[in-house]
């Protein structure tokens, strides 16, 4: 079995941003157990600007790219992922999936190591890959694991978190955890941002529950709160298909 751990660096933090670096590490299983193959990474020249906030995270600037570097597109991703794999893996896979179409991976299932770590190690002091790296006592070669926030090193760290997780959970369990609806404990935006779902008026929740282009996890949370309140409109809204 081959699990492909991928990490991206981009020009910004939204879905209009471009991929400027891809790193991946294949984790394979043999008779001796799970092991990580050497990391692979590649720079991709952006068409637009790299935001200052993004540069402050990964420290990739326009000077890192030359005219010979290709732009990133689906063809380039398919070429990088040409070796067959059984699943894609990322730390906070929701981010990578916003940039990597299923057609670029052959429709492989995904494992989110954030969700899996929260299920296996709820007592952890945090669930970022660097916090888990040190909390789990992973002894990683700095030449491969550093610097943080670059695609190859971050994929290397996540690959070893994945190997640690595989000692306590199966691939199938982690795929199932990844597919579960994301929990949204508080309202993430708008005039009620940061407040628990129990506080906003029902008409506000009904508005959110009826949206078809909103984050499906937010829509689901609004509908669940309406159902909890036994709102008469909840049953009808439950029939509205989720976005995505």
Closest CA to 188 of 222, 154, 140: 222
Residue 244 reports pLDDT greater than 80: no
Q: CATH number for the 2-179 domain, one of 3.40.50.460, 3.30.420.40, 3.30.420.10, 3.30.1390.10?
A: 3.30.420.10
* pLDDT for residue 121 is more than 70: yes
60 Cβ contact partners less than 8 Å away, ≥ 6 residues apart = 9, 20, 21, 43, 50, 54, 150
Six token digits for residue 43: 């720079």
Q: pLDDT-derived band of residue 16, with 50, 70 and 90 as boundaries?
A: confident
Q: Is the pLDDT of residue 84 over 90?
A: yes
Whether the predicted pLDDT of 92 surpasses 60: yes
Name the band, by pLDDT with cuts 50, 70 and 90, for residue 213: confident
Considering the entire predicted model, what is its pTM? 0.80
pLDDT of 242 above 90: no
Q: How much is the pLDDT for 236?
A: 56
pLDDT band at residue 224 using 50, 70 and 90 as cut-offs: confident
DSSP state of 196: B
Q: Which of 27-31, 32-36, 103-107, 178-182 has the weakest average pLDDT?
A: 178-182
Angle at 113 between CA 110 and CA 116, to 5 degrees: 100
Question: Does position 135 have pLDDT exceeding 60, yes or no?
Answer: yes
List the domain boundaries for the chain.
2-179, 181-244
Q: In whole angstroms, give the CA distance from residue 97 to residue 89.
A: 10
> pLDDT exceeding 90 applies to what percent of the chain?
77
**Cα 5 from Cα 9, distance rounded (Å):** 14
Integer Cα distance of 8 and 189 in angstroms: 26
Tens digit of pLDDT for each residue in 24-72?
999 999 888 999 999 999 999 999 999 999 999 999 999 999 999 999 9
Q: Does the pLDDT at position 237 exceed 70? A: no
* Phi, psi dihedral angles at 196 (to 5 degrees): -65, 155
Overall average pLDDT of the 171-184 stretch? 90
Q: 121-135, 180-194, 210-224: which has the highest mean pLDDT?
A: 121-135
pLDDT at 243: 43
More confident residue, 80 or 231: 80
């Amino acid at each position: 079995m081959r699990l492909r751990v991928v990490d991206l660096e981009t020009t910004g933090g939204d879905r209009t941003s471009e991929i400027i670096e891809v790193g991946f590490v294949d984790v394979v299983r043999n008779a001796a157990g799970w092991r990580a193959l050497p990391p692979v990474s590649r720079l991709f020249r952006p068409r637009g600007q790299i935001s200052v906030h993004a540069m402050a995270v990964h420290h990739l600037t326009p000077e890192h790219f030359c005219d010979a570097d290709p732009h990133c597109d689906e063809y380039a991703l398919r070429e990088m992922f040409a070796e067959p794999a059984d699943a894609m893996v990322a730390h906070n896979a929701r981010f990578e999936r916003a940039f990597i179409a299923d057609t670029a991976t052959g429709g492989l299932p995904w494992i989110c190591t954030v969700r899996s770590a929260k299920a296996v190690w709820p007592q952890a002091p945090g669930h970022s890959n660097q916090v888990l790296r040190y909390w789990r006592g992973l002894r990683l070669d700095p030449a491969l694991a550093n610097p943080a926030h670059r695609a190859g090193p971050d994929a290397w760290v996540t690959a070893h978190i994945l190997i640690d997780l595989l000692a306590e959970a199966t691939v199938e369990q982690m795929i199932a955890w990844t597919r579960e609806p994301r929990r949204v404990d508080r309202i993430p935006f708008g005039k009620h941002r940061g407040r628990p779902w129990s506080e906003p008026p029902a008409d506000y929740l009904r508005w959110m529950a009826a949206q078809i282009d909103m984050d499906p996890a937010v829509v689901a949370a609004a509908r669940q709160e309406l159902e909890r309140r036994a709102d008469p409109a909840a049953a009808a809204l439950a029939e509205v298909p989720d976005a995505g």
